[in-house]
């Protein structure tokens, strides 16, 4: 049975599928209604959701919690990014940042994997800044206003860079290496590293 990714976000699923494919790990979506724990830490939110999801489904699975953290706004919207996006979109965040010089921001992704042994967490960030205006059509959420460090383009303008450096790419990369190694030790050849 393939590994399950508990999410209702089609964009997240597509990104995760493509990233994990590179490690030979195949996934299927699992849509479960889970009430998210309130915490300012993506890792804690993901951990709590993974526990609940495993209790319900009893199959190896992972969940992801992510968000964008703005320095000038003391980390807002952070773990409330989905909620904030629903209320005001990226346009609202740009408005809050109007005239603000410190534009530093980071995306964070926490993967929580659960099986009969418990929960394992993998967290990673992608640093960058908030653009002055939206640009690009790719991706989802705050992609049109986030420029990763070392680039001049937003994630929505440059999907190839997003695929290489994103928070999700990094967290899933750490998870995939651990997951493949764990299964290989048990004699189950799950994945193959890209050469
Ligand atoms: P959650 O992890 O389901 O709580 O949602 C995280 C929210 O953060 C998403 O709904 C997006 O608004 C935002 N977000 C997370 N990752 C990304 C990304 O890769 N690009 C743009 N927005 C993101």
Domains by residue range for the chain, with CATH: 3-185 (3.90.950.10)
Q: What is the CA radius of gyration of the chain?
A: 17
Instruction: Note the pLDDT of residue 75.
Output: 98
Instruction: Note the pLDDT of residue 195.
Output: 47
CA 47 → CA 43, 110, 112, 122, 187, distances in Å?
6, 9, 5, 10, 27
Q: Which two tokens stand for residue 91?
A: 């346009």
- Whole-angstrom Cα distance, residue 40 to residue 125? 15
Per the annotation, the verdict on 65 as an active-site residue is: yes
Instruction: Note the pLDDT of residue 131.
Output: 98
- Is the whole model's pTM more than 0.85, yes or no? yes
- Whole-angstrom Cα distance, residue 119 to residue 94? 36
Instruction: Determine the distance separating the centroid of ligand 1 and the alpha carbon of 56, expressed in angstroms.
Output: 24
Instruction: Note the pLDDT of residue 190.
Output: 72
Low-confidence residues in the chain, pLDDT < 70: 1, 191-195
- Whole-angstrom Cα distance, residue 2 to residue 17? 12
Long-range contacts: 139-147, Cβ < 8 Å, 24+? Answer: 139/11, 140/9, 140/11, 141/11, 141/68, 141/81, 141/82, 141/85, 141/90, 142/68, 142/81, 142/85, 142/90, 142/93, 142/107, 144/90, 145/90, 145/93, 145/94, 146/68, 146/105, 146/107
Instruction: Note the pLDDT of residue 73.
Output: 98
Pocket of ligand 1 (CB under 6 A): 9, 65-68, 81-82, 85, 107, 139-143, 155, 166, 168
- Whole-angstrom Cα distance, residue 8 to residue 27? 14
Pocket test for ligand 1, best of 6, 18, 82, 112 (most atoms within 8 A of CB): 82
The atom of ligand 1 lying closest to the CA of 167 is: 19
Pocket test for ligand 1, best of 68, 84, 124, 144 (most atoms within 8 A of CB): 68
CA 78 → CA 39, 47, 100, 180, 194, distances in Å?
10, 16, 18, 30, 33
Instruction: Note the pLDDT of residue 184.
Output: 87
């Amino acid at each position: 049975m393939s590994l399950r990714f508990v999410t209702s976000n089609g964009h997240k699923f597509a990104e995760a599928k493509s990233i994990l494919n590179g490690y030979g790990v195949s996934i299927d979506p699992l849509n479960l209604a889970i009430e998210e724990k309130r915490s300012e830490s993506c890792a804690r939110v993901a951990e709590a959701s993974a526990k609940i999801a495993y209790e319900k489904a009893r199959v190896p699975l992972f969940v992801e919690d992510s968000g964008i953290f703005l320095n000038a706004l003391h980390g807002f919207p952070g773990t409330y990014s989905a909620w904030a996006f629903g209320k005001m979109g990226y346009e609202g965040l740009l408005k809050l940042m109007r005239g603000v010089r410190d534009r530093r921001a980071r995306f964070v992704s926490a993967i929580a994997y659960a099986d009969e042994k418990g929960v394992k967490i993998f967290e990673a960030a992608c640093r960058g800044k908030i653009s002055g205006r939206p640009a690009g059509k790719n991706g989802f959420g705050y992609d049109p206003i986030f420029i990763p460090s070392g680039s001049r383009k937003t994630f929505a303008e440059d999907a190839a860079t997003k695929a290489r450096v994103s928070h999700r790419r990094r967290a899933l990369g750490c998870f995939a290496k651990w997951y493949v190694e764990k299964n290989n030790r048990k004699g189950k050849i799950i994945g193959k590293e890209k050469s």
